[in-house]
Structure 1
Amino acid sequence: MSIATPTPEPTPEDISRGLAELERHLGKQTPAVAPKVRPIEVSGETKRVQRLRAEVTEAHLLAGLQDDDAPLMLDTPKVRKRRKAAREASRLHELAQDPAMRAWQAARMLRLLVVVAMVSLTLALAWSTAGVQHFASEGATLWSPSWVFAWLVEPFMSMALLFVVGARAYLATRGQPIVSRTLVRIEGVFLALTFGMNVWPYLPWSLPEGKAFTVSGIVLHILGPSIAVAIVIALPIVLSAFARLDHGPISKGVTGPEYRPNMPSTYRAEHTYSSADIDALAARVRQMIADGELPADVGAASIRKALRCGMDTARAVRDALAEQAT
């Protein structure tokens, strides 16, 4: 049986040697970190010098590019916006010169004017209704039959007047204004009745005792009839002027035949032929008949088409052929 030998206790020197060995071992296992090395500055190349050198280099580059005008040739957004507006205005102006557009604008304005005139005329006649009712009732009791029927005097006169004015206005827009003294007299009678019935109760000799005469009362009650008179006189004249408007040449094949028989036109005035010219045209038609281009019993429509003249001239040639045949 052997006896265990006791392990000697380490001395402080042994502990120090062990720690040194451990540090050496760990140093071999961990890669060494390279120490930070400050860049060596060349003599005179400070940060200020570097900034100035960069500024000088930039200036030389800008000087070389400054002579190039390419950026100045590009349109800015504002320039493009103005060019677009100018092009649009040019197209709109060109469109406004088109005969069809001018005719459409005239028709639109004419419709607006007629509506305004008729509304104003209706309001003016409605304004005078109260004055006419006061004249026609002759102091009748409120809501009595005479008082109620007095309100109908002005409406039936206004309807008759609007009938005449509307007919004249419509025919004026169709290029066939009614020139009739009878209709003018009828309009004058209706307007005179309306005017007189509005003014009569407020004249000095018609006022009741104790009521003073005032000019404002007369003016207030003649306002409606005066406007009605003005519209009735002016509306046919304005509409006739619109009917005579010349919107430019009419494109053939779009608005119908070139010639419009028995209808005044401002687009093309037919040439006035003398009797000698009619005879010459008749001789030309006879030659066409002899050549077989036209039938023997040629009519005015065929003559107009063959000679390219107006219907009135074609009728005159037809009559000349008939006279020469007899």
Structure 2
Amino acid sequence: MTAMEFTRHGALLVPAGALPPETEPGEVAGQVITDPPPTPAAPPQMPDRPGRADRRQARRDAAREAVLAGETKRVARWTARAAEARHLRRLLLDPDVRAVRLMRQRARWSAMAWSALVFALLFTMVNVQRFAAGHAEPWSPMWVVAWLVDPAFSILLVGLLIARGHLSAVRRQVTEPIVKRVEYGLLAATTAMNVAPELTHRFPGGWGEQVASIVLHLLVPLLAFAAASVITLIQDHFAAAIAALTDPPDGGRPTGINLHEHPDTTPAMVELSADDRKLLGAVRHAITTGDLDPDPNGYAIYRRVMGGRGDKTRAYRIAAAVNGWRPTLHAA
């Protein structure tokens, strides 16, 4: 007997070869079924590109439409320039901007005037030294000290002019005659000491050369005198122009508040806040000490009491409240 071979089919043992062989997926009766070949995809249709002539014509049409609509580059550029010019004009017409430009012009002019004055005084210093030294030996004590004579006069003169210039910038006039007399006396003394050596010196060219030298040494002190005279005058005009730009047309006194001669117990005082009353006290103190003139305007209070800071409207309100107030009347 021959041994039979069995194979396991599920839970049963069956003789080998009793069942047909298992087929793999895709195989039918020993034949392999293959998938059909894929259909090639159609290439994408590219849109027809316009030709060069079409593109040129489209650009011409777009440019023509922009011209008709007023949307060209030139129109846009000039529109932007017009807007910038309008904004710049509004800024340049602003009172504060105009006041700042005037202040800068005043500074430039003052620098030029002071330069002319200093150069003239340096020129006179040499002749004054020769006049003061006399026949002293060079580098002797008398010769060295003679160089200090003209600066002694000039420092006092320049100090007076600087003080008057700063006071004029805040609209504080120095009108006492003694100040003018001192300034003119210093300039006259400097001129006399500058010309005196030319009167005693003998020139090789005779009288003609001596007269020319005397005229030259007169003109230079006159330049210093002219510069000293117009420095404060022009600064006063600059200060008035700046104040006219920053002060209101009514002089800084509001007309809506009815005030009494003594605004201590008036309704206007009742309407003032605590800060305004404190500022009013500071303004009255400044009037009492002479730092402010009686009946000051709002600009003077803003600049000299408030230090140029804070709300400028408060200064004008306090100027109206202090109008008519006098220290003597208040004490009485």
- The interval holding the TM-score normalised by the smaller chain is 0.5 to 0.7
The equivalent residue for 1:133 is 129
Which residue of 2 is the match for residue 142 of structure 1? Answer: 138
User: 1:121 maps to which residue?
Assistant: 117
1:310 aligns with: 320
Q: Are 1:216 and 2:192 counterparts?
A: no
Q: Which amino acid aligns with 1:212?
A: G
Structure 1 position 166 matched with structure 2 position 149: no
* CA distance in structure 2 between the aligned counterparts of 1:223 and 1:230, rounded to whole angstroms: 10
- In the alignment, structure 1 residue 243 sits paired with structure 2 residue 267: no
Residues 249, 267 of structure 1: 8 Å contact kept: no
- CA distance in structure 2 between the partners assigned to 1:210 and 1:234 by the alignment: 38
Q: Does 1:191 align with 2:174?
A: no
Structure 1 residues 293 and 121, CA gap change in structure 2 (3 angstroms): closer
After TM superposition, the structure 1 = structure 2 runs for residues 274-289 of structure 1, keeping only pairs within 5 Å, are 278=260, 285=267
Q: Which segment drifts farther, 97-106 or 209-218? A: 209-218
Q: What is the match of residue 201 of structure 2? A: 207
Q: Is the 8 A contact 1:169 1:239 kept in 2?
A: yes
Question: Which residues of structure 1 form unaligned runs of 5+?
Answer: 1-56, 251-264
Which deviates the most, 88-97 or 178-187?
88-97
SS of the aligned residue for 2:148 comes to: helix
Of 222, 232, 251, 1:268 maps to 251
| Counterparts of 2:249 and 2:238, CA distance in 1 | 12
Partner Cα distance (2:264, 2:113) in 1: 51
- CA 1:156–1:79: 2 relative to 1, 3 Å: farther
CA distance in 2, matches of 1:88, 1:218: 59
Cα deviation for residue 249 of structure 1 reads 5.3
Partner of 2:99: 103
Q: 1:92 to 1:222 in 2, by over 3 A?
A: farther
**Whose helix fraction is larger, Structure 1's or Structure 2's?**
1
How far does the alpha carbon of each residue in 1:152-192 deviate from its partner, in whole angstroms, 9 at most, with x for none?
11111111111111111100001111111101000011100
Q: CA deviation at 1:293?
A: 11
Query: Gaps spanning 5+ residues in structure 2: where?
Result: 1-52, 285-313
Give the aligned residue type for 2:170. R
Residue aligning to 2:295: none
After superposition, the C-alpha distances for 1:78-122 in whole angstroms (9 at most, x for unaligned) are: 554444444333322211111111121122122222222222211
Contact 2:128 2:193 in 1 (8 A): yes
- Separation in 1, partners of 2:159, 2:124: 18
Q: Which of 142, 148, 153 is the aligned partner of 2:149?
A: 153
Counterpart-to-counterpart distance in 2, 1:210 and 1:67: 86
In structure 2, do the counterparts of structure 1 residues 282 and 182 end up closer, same or farther at CA, with 3 Å as the change threshold?
A: closer
Paired amino acid for 2:102:
A
Of structures 1 and 2, the larger Rg is shown by 1
Contact 1:248 1:267 in 2 (8 A): no
Contact 1:171–1:177 at 8 Å: present in 2 too? Answer: yes
Q: Bigger CA drift: 113-122 or 93-102?
A: 113-122
The AA in structure 1 aligned to 2:113 is A
CA contact (8 A) 1:301 1:314 kept: no
CA shift for structure 1 position 75: 5.3
Q: Check conservation: 2:165, 2:232, Cα contact below 8 A.
A: yes
In structure 2, distance between residues paired with 1:118 and 1:201: 26
1-structure distance, mates of 2:264, 2:145: 69
RMSD: 4.4
Distance 2:156 2:319 in 1: 44
TM-score by length of 1: 0.57
SS in 2 for 1:177: coil
